[in-house]
Amino acid sequence: MLIDKLEILQLKGSVLLQNDISLIALTLALTVLLFCRSVSLRRQAAKQSLLLEEQSKHLEEFQIKLDINTSKTEREEHFLKNLQQAEMATELQKSRSPLVHQRNSQRPPERYEYVKSMFQSGLATEEISSALGMSTIEIAQLLKLSSLSKQAEQFNDDKNILSLA
């Protein structure tokens, strides 16, 4: 009976030893599995981090391009606005131009031209007034107008020369 008890204890001990070994093996297997899973998750996290970094760089590049395009668009809009204003100003000036040219192209009456040419030949205002039958005041005014128109023509000629340069 003692032998039987010893055998039973040995059997129980071997069963317990086998249970301990299987528990140790199971624990070791789970530890290895968890380690492999954590390594795999770390690699995935690193890949996602790199991908996120690349995406951020691309996003920044697109933002810069968008800012440049927006800036170009704003400059183009500003240019078009200025161009429209210049065209409008040109149209307004053109509408007045024929009137100015018409006024300049009208010639003064012949007797006014006679006053100018007689004065340039050296005649006095009294002699001109008696020859043309006009008052001396009118002759003096016509001579002043003639000199003013000559100055205006010179000014316009100078202005045209400057605008061509």
Secondary structure of 16-29 in HEC code, one letter for each residue: HHHHHHHHHHHHHH
Domain of residue 101, residue span: 48-106
Question: Could you tell me if 136 and 117 lie in one domain?
Answer: yes
Does 67 have pLDDT greater than 80?
A: yes
Tell me what pLDDT residue 100 has.
56
Does 163 have pLDDT greater than 60?
A: yes
- Residue 95 in domain: yes
Question: Could you tell me if 116 and 164 lie in one domain?
Answer: yes
Task: Please indicate, yes or no, whether the overall pTM of this predicted structure exceeds 0.85.
Answer: no
More confident residue, 99 or 43: 43
Does 2 have pLDDT greater than 60?
A: yes
Tell me what pLDDT residue 21 has.
80
- Residue 99 in domain: yes
- Residue 64 in domain: yes
Instruction: Count the domains in the chain.
Output: 2
**Distance (Å, whole) CA 165 – CA 159:** 10
Q: Which amino acid is at 83?
A: L
Average pLDDT over residues 39-65: 94
Yes or no: say if 131 and 124 are a contact pair by the CB < 8 Å rule. no
Tell me what pLDDT residue 92 has.
76
Average pLDDT over residues 37-52: 96
- Residue 9 in domain: no
- Residue 41 in domain: no
C-alpha torsion 90→91→94→96, nearest 10 = -110
More confident residue, 33 or 109: 33
- Residue 1 in domain: no
